[in-house]
Amino acid sequence: MVQRKCKEAKDLMDQVKPSIKEIYSEIMYHYHYNMGLLHFFHKDHVKAVESYTAAYDAGFDDYPLYKFSLYFNLGLCYSHLGMYLRAIDCYLKADHLFRCERGEFLRMHLDNNLALDYIKIGETELAKRRLKEVIHYAEVFKNNVISGRAMTNLGRACIKEKEYNRALDYFEVAKVFVNEGEEGHFGILYYKILCLIMMNNSQAESELAYARSVLQGNDRHMMHFNSLSHLLTLDDNSSVDYIKNTSTPFLMENFAYHRIVDIYEIMENHFMVKGDRLKALEIKSLSSDLYKIMMQGNKIVEKRALGLLLAIIMVASTSVTAFADPGDDDGF
């Protein structure tokens, strides 16, 4: 499982399943935990929550690190489902539970994830407080990957506050910590261009041209930047259609609900400024539909995992506690 050999792991789990009820609670705990991990890797977060529920019901939760991983990974699942308040609740429980005992590496990941979800719901001051702690520890431990992510996320918080020039400053600092072509580099480019578009800055076009040159052959990542490109030509109906019919399904499939919210906000503002109230209302309606879909996700989880606020992803065979890699929250 640690090596992400999901098929091999699934085959082994299927061999164990017939006798699982005859085994003591710790093994049941790890079995369901590993199933949750498999579902997470396959992006079926609702099924992952089901497996985590079964693991919790096994009752083997005596160790603080186990409980920490429960909350941490469920936070990731809820965040991917667009259920940001639930994700924040899980992260805060993990933070409270393990503040004195967890290693600084886990602390940096937890605070970074928590800050991201704070940004998504507009709680930017809380986000910035966490991110400054992340940057401090990343500097102490010379972790450039975490430093780059935290600086990028500070820029995202500034975008939410409409402090666009400050956001651009953070993105420039973030670039120091990443290499061209890395996942973190793509994230910096994306949010820098988004920021420039919000500023109506013509530099957005040259940055998009640079992004295309870096992303040659990477069709999945290019889809994100194609969406930004069409924001520059919203007066062309084909660009609006592209965002509605191509960008939106793609971003939803990749659980990037907050990116859709940002895009719709730009579109709505554009048409309001142009005096096209009908189109602005149409985009507002699309935003409303998106929030309904996200709320539907809440209902599905509530139905299939009622009352659950715990999750675990364990690797029993190696006696290692495995955490789903948060990476960058939307793929880069």
pLDDT score at 20: 55
Q: Is residue 166 part of a domain?
A: yes
Q: What is d(CA 307, CA 318) in angstroms, rounded to the nearest whole number?
A: 30
pLDDT score at 313: 30
Q: Which domain holds residue 276?
A: 217-293
Q: What pLDDT digit, counting tens, does each position of 129-158 carry?
A: 999 999 999 999 899 999 999 999 999 999
Q: What pLDDT digit, counting tens, does each position of 67-88 carry?
A: 788 788 888 988 998 889 989 9
Q: How many domains does the chain have?
A: 2
Neighbour tally for 77: CB within 10 Å: 27
- Which CATH number do you get for residue 209? 1.25.40.10
Decide: helix, strand or coil at residue 137.
Answer: helix
pLDDT, greater one: 159 or 52: 159
pLDDT score at 1: 54
pLDDT score at 67: 74
Q: Is residue 31 part of a domain?
A: no
Contact 185, 173 (CB under 8 A): no
Q: Is residue 200 part of a domain?
A: yes
Q: What pLDDT digit, counting tens, does each position of 271-313 carry?
A: 999 999 999 999 999 998 888 877 765 555 554 433 333 333 3
Contact 162, 265 (CB under 8 A): no
Task: Record the tokens describing residue 6, joined without a space.
Answer: 């999901």
pLDDT score at 37: 87
Domain end point (choices 195, 216, 237): 216
Q: Is residue 63 part of a domain?
A: no
Same domain, residue pair 211 and 238: no
Domain end point (choices 216, 243, 278): 216
pLDDT score at 279: 95
Residues linked to residue 314 through DSSP beta bridges, in sequence order: 321
Which DSSP letter does residue 245 get? I
Q: Which residue's structure tokens are 């409303």?
A: 288
Average pLDDT, the chain: 83
Q: How many CA atoms lie within 13 A of 134 on its CB side?
A: 27
Q: Which amino acid is at 12?
A: L
Same domain, residue pair 161 and 129: yes
How remote is the C-alpha of 283 from its chain's centroid? Answer: 24
Domain end point (choices 260, 278, 293): 293
